[in-house]
Structure 1
Amino acid sequence: MTIPFRRILNVALFAALVCVVAASGVAAPTSASSTVADGQRDFDWEIGTWRSSVQVLADPLSDSPDEWLEFTGTSTVRPLMDRQANVVEFEVSGPAGRIEALNLRLYEPQAQRWSLTFVSMRDGLLTPAVRGGFRDGVGEFYGDDKLGDRPIKVRFLITRVSQDEARFEQAFSADGGTTWETNWIAVDHRIRR
């Protein structure tokens, strides 16, 4: 398969998966399986709808002065496959426009880690996954990507501040992970229904 066709196929499969989940209204299991200690249930606390406040660095890894763009909206996390996976539907807007994205998170039992793959609805392309897990209440996920034609490292951190608040940070490194520049900060507050 060519790379463009593979990307189109991946996006189509991902979109179909999201539609099935959204239509199914999957309920959270209440069994003792939610106490699995291998990391498979690391995201259980996040299932639900959140109010998101987001700051995005306008021009990451550049010599230009830091300009932060602000957005607000919602983030909805739905479980998949008995919580071995989940999908995040993310929609925010602000003076600079809208961001609509999906994040598919898959648990890899053989490695006891999670992979997080993002897709922007603007271009429909999947980003390379970041992989990792939680330790001491903080999720750390790392991967490789490109910014333009430049290879970069990506770090994504998830901190559960409280039962009803979470913080997400993304940073890029152009020097192999020696230094990091944060370019995305989101603070989510749970919406109680």
Structure 2
Amino acid sequence: MTIQYRRIPYRRFLTVGLSALMLLATAASGNAAPPPPASTIADGQRDFDWEIGTWRTSVQVLADPLSESPDEWLQFAGTSTVRPLQDRRANVVEFNVSGPNGRIDALNLRLYEPQAQRWSLTFVNMRDGLLTPAVYGGFRDGVGEFYGDDQLGGQPIKVRFLITRTSRDVARFEQAFSADGGTTWETNWIAVDRRVRS
């Protein structure tokens, strides 16, 4: 069975850049400089600080989004590890889950754009090593909302990615597609992360 998610919501990266990125992430996690004082931080720049660390991840993926097929949800479980980069103005998520339908190994690079006061989230599925178009946004009232454009089956779609902290140590991630310009949305990815304590 072919899994039809957005080349997975932990999206694409150029293969050459991946090795360098992971080296940077490993170095940053062990030898990161102390974060700058709060007074020097732009609005939103520290929105992902709470997520740095390792999480147990359970994932549901809609097998065939935006189709007439009956809903079939595929189940996966594994880990997500979030590493800071560049004084936490960027971070990378290393995502590894598996289930009866196979494995998902992916990365998500998040970059803060101070001039726009927003984050971009760009994903790579390690199966194909290709970047997907980024989604853009930020957090408001504790909920992260990110939007972008992509294609599914050669047709243009809108993409929405939501991040909600349900508690200090639990977070929920949802991806949805819209084929009608954002009037209606179909959720196709739900991940729940629980923090792994040292």
What TM-score comes out, normalization by structure 2 length?
0.89
Which amino acid is the alignment partner of residue 123 of structure 2? F
Query: Using a 3 Å threshold, how does the CA distance of structure 1 residues 38 and 191 change in structure 2: closer, same or farther?
Result: same
User: Aligned to 2:143, which of 123, 138, 148?
Assistant: 138
Which amino acid is the alignment partner of residue 18 of structure 1? M
Is 1:46 matched with 2:51?
Answer: yes
Q: Contact 1:159/1:168 (CA < 8 Å) preserved in 2? A: yes
> How many angstroms apart in 2 are the aligned matches of 1:28 and 1:166?
26
> How many angstroms apart in 2 are the aligned matches of 1:15 and 1:181?
34
Q: Contact 2:122/2:134 (CA < 8 Å) preserved in 1? A: yes
5+ residue gaps, structure 1, are 1-7
> How many angstroms apart in 1 are the aligned matches of 2:104 and 2:152?
18
Corresponding residue number in structure 2 for 1:119: 124
Which amino acid is the alignment partner of residue 24 of structure 2? V
Corresponding residue number in structure 2 for 1:186: 191
Report deviation, 1:30: 5.2
| SS of match in other structure, 1:82 | coil
Corresponding residue number in structure 2 for 1:20: 24
| SS of match in other structure, 2:133 | coil
Q: Contact 2:36/2:87 (CA < 8 Å) preserved in 1? A: no
Corresponding residue number in structure 1 for 2:109: 104
User: Aligned to 1:170, which of 167, 175, 196?
Assistant: 175
Report deviation, 1:9: 8.8
> How many angstroms apart in 2 are the aligned matches of 1:39 and 1:48?
19
Query: Using a 3 Å threshold, how does the CA distance of structure 1 residues 26 and 103 change in structure 2: closer, same or farther?
Result: farther
Q: Contact 1:35/1:41 (CA < 8 Å) preserved in 2? A: no
Q: Contact 1:34/1:41 (CA < 8 Å) preserved in 2? A: no
Q: Contact 2:165/2:172 (CA < 8 Å) preserved in 1? A: yes
Is 1:75 matched with 2:80?
Answer: yes
Which amino acid is the alignment partner of residue 151 of structure 1? P
Report deviation, 1:27: 3.8
> How many angstroms apart in 2 are the aligned matches of 1:48 and 1:142?
25
Number of equivalences: 186
> How many angstroms apart in 1 are the aligned matches of 2:137 and 2:168?
22
| SS of match in other structure, 1:64 | coil
Which amino acid is the alignment partner of residue 184 of structure 1? W
